[in-house]
Amino acid sequence: MDRELLQFIQSKGFIWGPSPEIYGGVAGFYTYGPMGKLLKNRVEEKIRSVFSKSDFWEVECPTVVPKAVWKASGHLEGFTDPMIKCTKCNATFRVDNLLEEKGHESSIKDEDMLKNVKNANLKCPTCGGAFEDKILRHNLMMKTTIGLDTEAYNRPETATTTYLPFIRYADFFRKKLPFSVFQIGKAYRNEISPRQHLLRMREFTQAEGQMFIEANMKNNFEPFKKIKKRTMPLWSAKLQHEKKIPADTSLDKALKENFIKSQAYAWTLNLVYELFLAMGIPKDKLRFRQHFADEKAFYADDAWDLEVKTNSYGWVEMAGIHDRTNYDLLQHTKESGKTLAMEGNIVPHVLEIAFGVDRPVFALLDLFYEYKDKGEGKTTFNIPYDLAPVQVAVLPLMKKDKLPEKARKVFDLLKEQFTCRYDENGAIGRRYLRENQMGTPYCVTIDYDSIKNDDVTIRDRDSGKQTRVKVKKLVKTLNEGAK
């Protein structure tokens, strides 16, 4: 990430950190300032809207969850990073990252990584010492205690917590498949050395949708009909093997050619596409990448990622779409002793969409920030109007002659309906610039004529066009996109 972008994100009140800054900061923790939080809320509103229209219902599960759950889900044993320790200075490093940074192959197998470290003769980057002859496994969950002695963990993902109330869902949805829920909430991963700003946080906001569906419904899925002609950039495992670029492919065709396995799965890919377009990510920055067979989780029947092309870090994984089969429900049935199944002992399959809120927010900052005209240090933030943190700025032309009083009245009127800022400080041109830097779509200016005629000027961010409007028509005009 370049310095100008970081400076923009911090100084305009988007993201601060690592937090807590006054205590030196801890890597992987960030604070959303007022502009960042408004932006994040807009992104979450889009997620809620798209999910709700697709008949997904939101739930909120606890973030602190007892050990038994993570034993069942496999996180207690399997959710680890491979580490290697210096024999001389005791510094500890993620061995897979170390290998990749030095241009060597990593692996998912400990013995292969250890072999590669030896072959490459890697030394400690801190002191040059030799590494220990073993890989340590560091669990990524943050452990805590409930009550006096109940072992628990801050959840490392929302998904597992979403599956647990399955019996309640079946009842709420009146015992009829398919049904779908979603959750937006905090998750925690205790990475050793997180970098890359909002892309790799120890505390982050996850968003995920889960569809519970009978196995034999997956290829007899009515809603698929409506979207089957939809094309999207699909980068199948085969195309990747052949070193070809992603191809715009209809979901219909992808199914026929068998690199997407079911109608329902194809439908969830489309839903992810809708989600990211609604969040304002431009079409030409999106692609779907299929996992190779050896990349997939052992329970996953099919797995694709949605990737977004950022300016700062290139293509970044933003969402995973998994056919998890009936693995989770069977596993929790086994471990809890409660039967997670429908009538007739049907155990639904789960189609999962897992993504986050912080990464799309980062992508919006990264993609729509523009640093131009370096001499004058002018920046603009060209965020789509419907995602802008502040919707309307109210600006009296001068800080005198009753203009501020009139402007305050307009401000009071507008803030009933819009997110507004009031600003009376500095030359009007500088204030327009300031709003451009925040991405504010409309500036409403109150001048001397406003007092006589009870009207104002609306300035459009992108066109710079100014329109004169009566105050009594102002709300309506702004609601209609100031046309």
Residues 337 to 376: which contact its own copies by CB under 8 A? 338, 340
- Please, is 142 exposed, middle or buried when counting C-beta atoms within 10 Å of its C-beta (0-12, 13-18, 19+)? middle
Among 23, 103, 245, 345, binds its own copies (CB under 8 A): 23
d(CA 396, CA 346): 66
In the complex, the smallest distance separating the C-beta of residue 70 from its own copies, rounded to whole angstroms, is 11
Residue with tokens 């079911």: 262
In the complex, the smallest distance separating the C-beta of residue 157 from its own copies, rounded to whole angstroms, is 14
Among 84, 181, 251, 303, binds its own copies (CB under 8 A): 181
- What are the structure tokens assigned to 170, written together? 């079946």
Torsion over CA: 298, 302, 308, 314 (sign)? positive
In the complex, the smallest distance separating the C-beta of residue 40 from its own copies, rounded to whole angstroms, is 7
Neighbour-count burial for 386-411, b at 16+ CB within 10 Å, e otherwise: ebbbbbbbbbbbeeeeebbebbeebb
Question: Do the Cβ atoms of 317 and 235 come closer than 8 Å?
Answer: no
Q: Print the SS3 string covering 386-448.
A: HHCCCCEEEEECCCCCCHHHHHHHHHHHHCCCCCEEECCCCCHHHHHHHHHHHCCCEEEEECH
d(CA 351, CA 119): 42
Nearer CB in complex with its own copies: 4/44: 44
Question: Do the Cβ atoms of 208 and 159 come closer than 8 Å?
Answer: yes
In the complex, the smallest distance separating the C-beta of residue 426 from its own copies, rounded to whole angstroms, is 10
Nearer CB in complex with its own copies: 154/290: 154
Q: Identify which range of 8-16, 114-122, 275-283, 441-449 contacts its own copies by CB under 8 A.
A: 8-16
Site for its own copies contains 475 (CB under 8 A): no
In the complex, the smallest distance separating the C-beta of residue 121 from its own copies, rounded to whole angstroms, is 26
Residues 412 to 431: which contact its own copies by CB under 8 A? 415-416, 419, 425
Residues 195 to 234: which contact its own copies by CB under 8 A? 202-203
In the complex, the smallest distance separating the C-beta of residue 23 from its own copies, rounded to whole angstroms, is 5
Site for its own copies contains 52 (CB under 8 A): yes
Among 73, 116, 158, 161, binds its own copies (CB under 8 A): 161
Site for its own copies contains 377 (CB under 8 A): no
Size of the site for its own copies (CB under 8 A): 73
Site for its own copies contains 188 (CB under 8 A): yes
340 Cβ contact partners less than 8 Å away, ≥ 6 residues apart:
163, 166, 167, 329, 330, 332, 333, 347
Among 4, 21, 110, 370, binds its own copies (CB under 8 A): 21
Among 5, 65, 251, 456, binds its own copies (CB under 8 A): 65
- Please, is 14 exposed, middle or buried when counting C-beta atoms within 10 Å of its C-beta (0-12, 13-18, 19+)? buried
ω before 441 within 30° of 0 (cis)? no
Among 89, 146, 346, 427, binds its own copies (CB under 8 A): 146
In the complex, the smallest distance separating the C-beta of residue 259 from its own copies, rounded to whole angstroms, is 31
Site for its own copies contains 64 (CB under 8 A): yes
